[in-house]
Amino acid sequence: MWRQLRNLNRSGRRQAVLVVLLAAVSISLPFWAGPFWMRVGTGIIMWAGLALSWNVICGYAGYISFGHVAFFGIGAYSTAILMQPDYGWNFFATLPVGAVIAGGLAAIIGWPVLRLRGAYFAIATLALGEAIREFATVVPITGGSYGLSLPVNVSSEFFYFVMLGATALAYLVCIVLLEHSRFGYRVKAVRDSEIAARMQGINANLVKIQAFVLSAVIPAVLGGINAYWITFINPDSVLHTIFTDQMVVMVLLGGLGTIWGPALGAALLYMLDQQIVTHFGDSTSYLILLGVLVMLVVLILPNGLISLFSGRREGSVLRHLMRDFGSSRRHSGPAVTAEGSRHDHH
């Protein structure tokens, strides 16, 4: 172990020190922070995990998902339903159920949907999120638009450490799978060039489905914890499209296709959101801020704020995604253009 630490370059040592400091601050926060900062810390940790999950499917696999909130809502409703008096499940037992349902749904819909690219995949996932939201609104077991109440747990420390443990485990799994395993190299190879990856013998369809499942399990677990934390859920509180929008902006702000970028973006954006709510109330200012941040990041820092520390500023992943969107538009146009040219010729 000490030999590996000595072999780390300066950047690696800096990252190791930052991780240790972050872990120390996170673990010690409940012992010196007040109730307000405990709640802020819990929110930051949750959003860091949600941003990570979106980064898996977009930053690493190269697919822009606009319906990722569906998996967050599935986890929330799984916990809320199973903790109702009619079932009386233990809270911790409900989390794997939500993860399995979300992962299974991702595997099932991923088989046909992941054959799409660019804007087509984005629209398909947006439709998925809206379908899940409508389903939760009309099905009696979810409480419909009236929602569901959960048992009250007044311990802020409990939710902080549960959220911290779940998010830390998610980051650990993603670091191992995406940065230090063959699976991660396969995912990046498929993202960069699916044709070249297939020529190397990689089962591209399976790799994409596995990445999609991984990205679905994380928000499902965090959604279940969040449902118990807020004690009441309805379709608007756990299935609103603003959840996905914030994941997107946090990842772009922090750094697309990086491990620590989502955490950085989540911390900064959530803190900024709390300041706006505190000083200006719940208004449209936050939505305007999201749009401005997206434009600034894409134009000035295409690899996010993390590039200020890593020196990686070329924006290769973001440009690759933009090419996918451009190619999907071009593929929808040639037929019309060809017909028009033939019509002019006649």
List pLDDT tens digits, range 291-337: 787 788 778 877 888 887 765 555 556 555 656 555 555 554 444 33
340 found inside a domain? no
Domain hosting residue 83, numbered range: 15-333
What is the distance between the alpha carbons of residues 251 and 53, in angstroms, rounded to a whole number? 10
Nearest to 133 by CA among 193, 57, 74: 74
Q: What is the pLDDT of residue 163?
A: 96
Nearest to 205 by CA among 220, 190, 189: 190
What is the distance between the alpha carbons of residues 153 and 163, in angstroms, rounded to a whole number? 14
> Which pLDDT band holds residue 33 (cuts at 50, 70, 90)?
confident
Better-predicted residue by pLDDT, 257 or 22: 257
User: What is 123-165 written as a DSSP string?
Assistant: HHHHHHHHHHHHHHHH-GGGTGGG-EE------HHHHHHHHHH
Mean per-residue pLDDT, 235-248:
92
What is the distance between the alpha carbons of residues 324 and 122, in angstroms, rounded to a whole number? 11
Q: Which residue has the tokens 């991984």?
A: 214
342 found inside a domain? no
Sort 94 into a burial class: Cβ within 10 Å, 0-12 / 13-18 / 19+.
Answer: buried
Query: C-alpha distances in angstroms, 97 versus 78, 187, 216, 297?
Result: 7, 26, 13, 37
Mean per-residue pLDDT, 29-37:
85
Q: What six digits make up the tokens of 93? A: 């037992």
7 found inside a domain? no
Does pLDDT of 222 surpass 70? yes
Span of 103-107, 143-147, 176-180, 286-290 with lowest mean pLDDT? 286-290
> Which pLDDT band holds residue 32 (cuts at 50, 70, 90)?
confident
- pTM of the predicted model as reported, rounded to 2 decimal places: 0.86
Nearest to 102 by CA among 218, 196, 6, 192: 218
Element (H, E) at 87: none
Which of helix, strand or coil describes residue 58? helix
345 found inside a domain? no
Helix axes 35-55, 10-32, angle to 10 degrees: 140
Does pLDDT of 39 surpass 70? yes
Classify the phi-psi angles of 232: left when phi > 0, otherwise alpha if psi is within -120 to 50, otherwise beta: beta
Mean per-residue pLDDT, 228-240:
94
What is the distance between the alpha carbons of residues 75 and 191, in angstroms, rounded to a whole number? 28
Number of structural domains found in the chain? 1
Q: What is the pLDDT of residue 141?
A: 94
194 found inside a domain? yes
328 found inside a domain? yes
Contact 213, 110 (CB under 8 A): yes
Q: What is the pLDDT of residue 305?
A: 85
pLDDT tens-digit map of 162-208: 999 999 999 999 999 998 899 999 999 999 889 999 999 999 999 99
Q: What is the pLDDT of residue 18?
A: 74
CATH of the domain at 116: 1.10.3470
3 found inside a domain? no
